[in-house]
Structure 1
Amino acid sequence: MNLLEAEKFPFQQTRFTRTSDIQTIIKLFSQFSKEELMKKNQEVSIAGRMTGKRMFFADLTDQSETIQLKFSSENKKFAELDNGDIIGVVRGIVCRTDTQEKKNERKLSVEVEEFSLLSKCLRPIPSSYYGLSDTEERFRNRPLDFIVNKQKKEIFFLRHQVIKNIRQFLEEKKFIEIETPILVSEASGAQAKPFITHHNKLHRDFYLRIATEIPLKKLLVGGFEKIYEIGRIFRNEGIDARHNPEFTTIEVYQAYENAEYMMNLTEELFHYLAEKVFEKEKFTFNSHNISLQKPFRRLSMIEAIKEHINIDFAKINGLEEACQLAQKFNLKLEKFQKTVGHVILAFFEKFVEKNLIQPTFIYDYPVEVSPLAKSKPENEEIADRFELYIGGLEFANGYSELNDPTEQKKRFEEQSKQKELGNEEIASFDKEFLEALEYGMPPAGGLGIGIDRLIMLLTGQNSIKEVIAFPQLKNKEKNFE
């Protein structure tokens, strides 16, 4: 087809008026027989991408659904169309057509009386029957992936519904959403290696945020009591089925509440999403059948280790004995991990985490690995903190927020020593946050949930790349270790 000689050069079209989307047509007219539709003589205008062409028929797909088009055998313009072209049916009649696949079955269709070519597809589109099966190529060419693989596109409609309902859940509880900076002067609020960028006019370096925690807690100091943010986070770390350098989290903070309240809130939110969006409580994730029925199991970290490998850290006396145990179990400890708390966490991550299949809250973390959490009143070595595990993966992290500026400074100083010993993921020593705490921050509970992993669970995806529209990938031309 010579585009320049076309009746209407397709790339000049700026607008096409539709009377309906395809899904609405299917809902309104699928109940009627061929004869009833002939009597109705219902005229429609629809538009979309031609995703299949055969004889005098084609499939038309818009954002909502796919429907068959029927063209006259005398329509010469139809012969010039290619699979992938975007067309507008200016005038079409809803009808039913006989199918070759099944006798006596008549397929809901639109008989095309007039159409316009709105945009020409200049590259070949794989058949929707065979799809685009190369996983790596799918992620590198997402537009084509979404054109060909309808089920992959559906994930993002569900993602939208999940995020919309998270906001609805929190709105009902009178939380407000406040956006905080992505460019920050200190990479704090989590343990992660940051990305660094430079601002030319200000003549200074900035970090891409590794968490939204610190600015949200500054808002608590400023008098906001029920706040959250859904936002993009950036961490200069590895790429695999569970990690992407940029990802989405939600962090929630409520003044005058604690870790237990946030644990209950987390469980309530998961039940809410399962019911409101999916209308079910059982999901398949990482080859496991997961039940989100109440209640989620709750175990202290020490109880979980004892249950899985029969070691009771409540009876371990001192660092030397803990390190001997680590050596016995072939656990390699870095220089900065030489505390009892680090050994406990190492045992948990090695022997327990992957076995937590059904929803389980692990609480009572070592304070050494929880620098922003309050210690429990009865034991200063234990942080009032929890994490939620499902299918062997962490989904949520929450705690009673540390609001003592003197203790927070001490924790930051201890973290700085770990950084000197080689821990590249230690957060910055955030002086501005300490100054904010000195104005007084109310006791508060905080919660963080990884949105991408949540979508993985609820849509049954085993790779984080499936739930991120444009995941980061390794360079095609270079080898990476």
Structure 2
Amino acid sequence: MSQSFDNEFTAQRHRNRQAIEELGIDAFPGKVVRNEMVDAVIKAHGEKDKETLEAEKVRVEVAGRVMLNRPMGKAAFATLQDGTGRLQFYLRRDSVDDAAFKAYKKTDLGDFVSVGGTLFRTKTGELTVQVDRYQYLSKAYRPLPDKHAGLKDTELRYRHRSLDLLTNPEVRDTFKKRSNIIRAIRDFMTERDYLEVETPMMHVIPGGATARPFTTHHNALDMELYMRIAPELHLKRLIIGGLDRVYEINRNFRNEGISTQHNPEFTMMEWYEAYANLDVMKEMVETMIREVVQKTCGETKLMFGDFELDFGAPFDSYTMIEATCKFGNFTEAQLLDADSLRDVAKKLHIEDADTMEYGYLLAEVFESVAEPHLIHPTFITEHPIAISPLTKKIPGNEQFVERFELFCAGMEIANAYTEINDPLDQRQRFEDQMRQRDEGNDEAQFLDEDFLWAMEHGMPPTGGQGLGIDRLVMLLTNSASIRDVILFPLMRPHQES
């Protein structure tokens, strides 16, 4: 098999591999000796002094990448790293067989090895394995980033997440914390008797949110399909089917822009509860977030950028009109009248203010003047009906609906409704959305006859909510960009210069 190498470094590493194989050693063995992880060794023995270790003669078998190497002729100190931490080992020529020592001499930084031996402390007090068994495991053909500088270039970090995780411990910590956050959410939902479910990722009709979908094609059925923008309509079908409390944590796909708060593929949690309403959803998300923050962060006050967020204090709450008045210095009368609202929007230089419908216009004004000020966790209630096609109207105030969005640090992190369960009302809302599509709104929702058919069999009063997992993780890890909390964010293909 021929192989060309793009530089002398990879060529030299290949020669080192060949030298190891000439010793009769498999450079990529399938069987590995490892009895414990590095962090377990450190937790169990990291506080023991030199005399205790000498008396106990603790034997360990660990494996990982060689991250530091200090050869000294017939002996060497080196450091290996597994997924949990780093541990130094000390190897002498007379402590292992001749082939193993020669294999060590051809070991490059980044290579994987397994070592066995007894623990001791060096003169400087560092916990170290005195090696009597050395197994070569795998050759790294490319050198790792500088051991001191790590991988700092943001573009390279996102594009080469494997090296980012390997060289930046804080990145590993972020994704471990993400896993803990999701586990804590699942524990919370289990305690409330919710059933975790999975619904389709490919839809015949995209629905459940206002967004542009990604399209794909099923060859065998010769039909166009859409990557889901939300699981809402399928989860409501389960409510109709008698599963009274359901939730799903999974991916959504929206064909829209990329920013510090947006990635086209992102993780959402949606949940629905029969016989519940917006008040139940409000209590639930506030309690959930508070408990998750306490469990995963150890306290309820956190820093996010320059802001201190206090999740232990009661969340604020304003109607959309109230928040826009408070932070935009407007009167309620200005915002309730369509013509005066249009004048406000023009002064704010909102695009298409002359032609935009009232509900969309109010939402744009709110977003412009109020959203950046919603730092403490804040519920925004009473949204316009035009932007909420799946939500019950407020009795006696049918221009607005029973909906809230939860904001924190200027970001929307949750969205909840008292769900429409009247199939006639829902059909009318869908038809209005189709009218908007005909008028050029490519984010408006489709009319889903199959969902309406299910609703016509009877749907109980229901509360529903969606929570942005990625944005919540951003807040709890003090991450400025959504790309910092998604392992593999969408990137343009790499262009060679």
Residue correspondence of structure 1 range 81-160 to structure 2 within 5 A? 81-89=107-115, 91-99=116-124, 106-160=125-179
Residue 22 of structure 2 corresponds to: 5
Deviation digits for residues 65-100 of structure 1 (CA, Å, limit 9, x no counterpart)? 1111112266443221111011111x211111123x
Change (3 A) 1:316 1:27: closer
How far apart are 1:346 and its partner, in Å? 0.9
How far apart are 1:315 and its partner, in Å? 5.4
Residue 397 of structure 1 corresponds to: 415
Residue 8 of structure 2 corresponds to: none
Change (3 A) 1:201 1:438: same
Change (3 A) 1:341 1:63: same
User: Is the 1:18–1:46 Cα contact (8 Å) retained in structure 2?
Assistant: yes
Residue 211 of structure 2 corresponds to: 192
Change (3 A) 1:110 1:314: farther
Q: Which runs of 5+ in 1 are unaligned?
A: 100-105
User: Is the 1:250–1:450 Cα contact (8 Å) retained in structure 2?
Assistant: yes
Residue 241 of structure 1 corresponds to: 260
User: Is the 2:334–2:341 Cα contact (8 Å) retained in structure 1?
Assistant: no
Out of 82, 86, 91, the position equivalent to 1:66 is 86
Out of 310, 318, 327, the position equivalent to 2:346 is 327
How far apart are 1:25 and its partner, in Å? 0.7
Change (3 A) 1:77 1:329: closer
User: Is the 2:353–2:361 Cα contact (8 Å) retained in structure 1?
Assistant: no
Deviation digits for residues 360-409 of structure 1 (CA, Å, limit 9, x no counterpart)? 11111111111111011121111100011111100000010011111111
Residue 103 of structure 1 corresponds to: none
Q: TM-score normalized by structure 1? A: 0.94
Change (3 A) 1:76 1:10: closer
Aligned-residue Cα RMSD (Å) equals: 1.7
Residue correspondence of structure 1 range 306-455 to structure 2 within 5 A? 306-314=325-333, 316=335, 318-333=337-352, 338-455=356-473
Distance 2:453 2:182 in 1: 34
User: Is the 1:313–1:344 Cα contact (8 Å) retained in structure 2?
Assistant: no
Distance 1:292 1:317 in 2: 32
1:204 is the counterpart of 2:223: yes
How far apart are 1:54 and its partner, in Å? 2.1
Out of 28, 40, 46, the position equivalent to 1:30 is 46
How far apart are 1:286 and its partner, in Å? 3.6
Distance 1:365 1:316 in 2: 13
Structure 1 residues 59-68 or 175-184, which shifts more? 59-68
**SS at structure 2 position matched to 1:338:** coil
Residue correspondence of structure 1 range 33-48 to structure 2 within 5 A? 33-48=49-64
Distance 1:439 1:317 in 2: 37
User: Is the 1:128–1:149 Cα contact (8 Å) retained in structure 2?
Assistant: no
Amino acid paired to 1:94: L
1:300 is the counterpart of 2:319: yes
Q: TM-score normalized by structure 2? A: 0.91
Residue 102 of structure 1 corresponds to: none
Residue 456 of structure 1 corresponds to: 474
How far apart are 1:417 and its partner, in Å? 1.9
1:51 is the counterpart of 2:67: yes
User: Is the 1:10–1:117 Cα contact (8 Å) retained in structure 2?
Assistant: yes
Amino acid paired to 2:258: I
User: Is the 2:346–2:353 Cα contact (8 Å) retained in structure 1?
Assistant: no
Amino acid paired to 1:295: P
Change (3 A) 1:329 1:244: closer
The percentage of counterpart residues that share the same residue type is: 39
How far apart are 1:474 and its partner, in Å? 2.0
User: Is the 1:132–1:149 Cα contact (8 Å) retained in structure 2?
Assistant: yes
Count of residue pairs the alignment pairs up: 470
Distance 1:454 1:387 in 2: 14
User: Is the 1:401–1:445 Cα contact (8 Å) retained in structure 2?
Assistant: yes
Amino acid paired to 1:239: I
Residue 248 of structure 2 corresponds to: 229
Deviation digits for residues 234-254 of structure 1 (CA, Å, limit 9, x no counterpart)? 111111211111110000100
How far apart are 1:324 and its partner, in Å? 2.2
Distance 2:126 2:54 in 1: 14
Residue 7 of structure 2 corresponds to: none
Change (3 A) 1:317 1:381: closer
Residue 173 of structure 1 corresponds to: 192
User: Is the 1:286–1:391 Cα contact (8 Å) retained in structure 2?
Assistant: no
Q: Which runs of 5+ in 2 are unaligned?
A: 1-15, 95-100
How far apart are 1:45 and its partner, in Å? 0.6
Distance 1:428 1:5 in 2: 66
User: Is the 1:194–1:236 Cα contact (8 Å) retained in structure 2?
Assistant: yes
Change (3 A) 1:256 1:478: farther
Deviation digits for residues 397-424 of structure 1 (CA, Å, limit 9, x no counterpart)? 0010011111111111111122222222
Distance 1:401 1:314 in 2: 29
Amino acid paired to 2:227: L
Amino acid paired to 2:41: I
Out of 25, 30, 34, the position equivalent to 1:18 is 34
User: Is the 2:207–2:229 Cα contact (8 Å) retained in structure 1?
Assistant: yes
Distance 2:336 2:55 in 1: 87
User: Is the 1:302–1:314 Cα contact (8 Å) retained in structure 2?
Assistant: no
Distance 2:316 2:353 in 1: 32
Amino acid paired to 2:88: Q
